[in-house]
Amino acid sequence: MITTITLNAALDTTYYLPSFTLGRTNRLKDLHVEPGGKGINVAKVLYSLGEKIIAGGFVGGSNGMKITELLEERNIPHEFVNIQEDSRVCLTIINEEIKEETEILEQGPTITDEEWSTICDYVKKAATKSKIITLAGSLPKGVPVDGYSQLIEIIQQNGSKAILDTSGEPLRHGLNSGPFAVKPNEHELRQLINKEILTLTDAIDAGKNLLKKGVQYVCISLGGEGALLLNQEEVYHVKAPEIEVVNTIGCGDAMLAGLASGFDKELPIEQILSLATACGAANALQPYAGKVDLDDIEHLRKDIEVFRLNHI
């Protein structure tokens, strides 16, 4: 069982426009609404992979009701803590003329102390029946900045493994609790180590430093440079497959799903990185976040080469 936790769930709305001009009237060609937030995107991909999952976290108000309705339409099991305030809407504007994506993200609800206590209790129970729990996305207002750190301790004290995918101070605090695995992207890692330019060597060195904090696996997505996966003994690098990208939103979430699935199945590290990379690329071939085609994943995995770089 894999449980995904989304503390800042969203109703992801995508506007498709033939062209988009700021300060002018723009007419909509089409729109699409998805249940979103990073953890929910992870859950959608895990469901496509055939994993036994539960999508958990916070939802509230009419937007929260719509999120759960959409998950039910997709037959994705879920157990959310209902909150007083409305879940957020995240808007993506697709300019089809120049293939440009613009995101407008609401900040989201404010979580009360009682609601935070409830999610901590929920995560404790989930940890007793889940092999893996993913913690992904931003922290809503009201959640302590060390919120993920608190949840990681709860998860790992109750027999499960925490995989963390966030940024900024929540990531920095979360690392202090030594999660089983973390998945920063290039931007998040540069922010973490305070470097404007990140070479492959810089990324490997940063990954090694994260391992010293008690993290067992570090996966670093590097855009066009592919990805790294490190543990205490090994460093592996994979090049990004060459594809015709349709959509970049949600690719990191799909990659996280591949990691969680690989760890759940206890695959060799090379196969975990291959699966995660294929999931991220497969999402890029689809128009919506959290959507993958299994045939795409299998086809992509055949062309993905994983290289062992060195011993740590």
Residues 270-298: pLDDT tens digits? 999 999 999 999 998 998 888 999 999 99
| pTM of full prediction above 0.85 | yes
**CA separation for the pair 268, 306 (Å, rounded):** 12
The highest-confidence range among 85-99, 153-167, 188-202, 216-230, by mean pLDDT, is: 153-167
Task: Answer yes or no: 86 catalytic.
Answer: no
How far are the Cα atoms of 10, 45, 257 from residue 102, in angstroms, in the given order?
Answer: 16, 23, 24
**CA separation for the pair 75, 106 (Å, rounded):** 27
- Report pLDDT digits (tens) over 228-268: 999 999 999 998 888 888 878 889 999 999 999 999 999 99
DSSP for the chain reads: -EEEEETT-EEEEEEEES---TTS-----EEEEEEESHHHHHHHHHHHTT--EEEEEEEEHHHHHHHHHHHHHTT--EEEEEESSPPEEEEEEEETTTTEEEEEE---PBPPHHHHHHHHHHHHHHHTT-SEEEEESPPPBTS-TTHHHHHHHHHHHTT-EEEEE--HHHHHHHHTT--SEE--BHHHHHHHHT-SS--HHHHHHHHHHHHTTT-SEEEEE-GGG-EEEE-SSEEEEEPPPP---S--TTHHHHHHHHHHHHHHTT--HHHHHHHHHHHHHHHHTSSSTT---HHHHHHHHHH--EEEEEE-
Identify the active-site residue in 253, 264, 295, 296: 253
The per-residue pLDDT for 115 is 98
The per-residue pLDDT for 175 is 96
The answer to whether residue 85 scores a pLDDT higher than 90 is yes
Enumerate residues 6+ apart whose C-beta is below 8 A from 240.
223, 224, 225, 226, 227, 277, 281
How far are the Cα atoms of 13, 33, 307 from residue 25, in angstroms, in the given order?
Answer: 19, 22, 50
Q: Write down the CATH superfamily of domain 2-8+38-87+110-311.
A: Ribokinase (3.40.1190.20)
How far are the Cα atoms of 10, 30, 44, 278 from residue 14, in angstroms, in the given order?
Answer: 12, 8, 17, 24
The per-residue pLDDT for 311 is 52
Which pair of structure tokens corresponds to residue 151?
Answer: 């949840």
**CA separation for the pair 295, 297 (Å, rounded):** 5
C-alpha 105 chain-centroid distance = 16
Q: What is the mean pLDDT of residues 218-234?
A: 91
Compute φ and ψ for 87, nearest 5 degrees: -65, 155
The answer to whether residue 81 scores a pLDDT higher than 70 is yes
Cα torsion angle, 152, 155, 158, 160, sign:
negative
Q: What is the mean pLDDT of residues 114-142?
A: 97
